[in-house]
Amino acid sequence: MSKIDVDFYVGSNPYHLFMTDISEWGVIADSPSIVEITLPGSDKCIVKYWDKGKVNVANSNTLNLTCPTCTDANKVTLHDGIYKIVVKGSPETYSRTRYYLKTDLLDMEVDKLILSYPKYYKDVDFSKKLTEIEALIRGAEANVRFDNLRLAGLAFQAAQEAVERLGNCKGCK
């Protein structure tokens, strides 16, 4: 009997989640598998078929955030936050759960702050605030990796609030 090890890697951009299957499917290689994706702030999962050995892509259309007949031109950005992703083989005793902190939109807001203030590296206060934001984001990511989801959520929310405050700061730029 060959080894079964369900495993996958998750990445993202503002419009997509990329879930790369790196599993060893063994004797269940020909059996169907699914992925359950729970969006940030939701307690209901969206179930889709899982393509073994491939990159599985989710967007606003496939995650039922836009209309069922929408095309790629109609897709919208995916919310940042903590996604719960469960890949299940058949039988579903073979499964793997991963949590993923999507920060693409927040990262773009940080980028805009940096670009809007080209001399940020000379302004100690502005640089300090950017460093604090980066530390909050890294802290949120670290907490997700260690399944401290409550702390991850708090750090991520604090980073979002800090970005908003810095973006609205009239004397900062």
> Do strands 8-13 and 45-49 pair parallel, antiparallel, or not at all (unpaired)?
unpaired
pLDDT number for residue 66 = 87
pLDDT number for residue 93 = 93
CATH numeric code, 8-102: 2.60.40.10
pLDDT at 73 over 90: no
pTM of the model as a whole: 0.92
pLDDT at 142 over 60: yes
pLDDT number for residue 77 = 95
Q: Which residue is associated with the tokens 């640089």? A: 127
Q: Is 17 exposed, middle or buried (0-12, 13-18, 19+ CB in 10 A)?
A: buried
pLDDT number for residue 3 = 92
Alpha helix locations (H) across 41-101? none
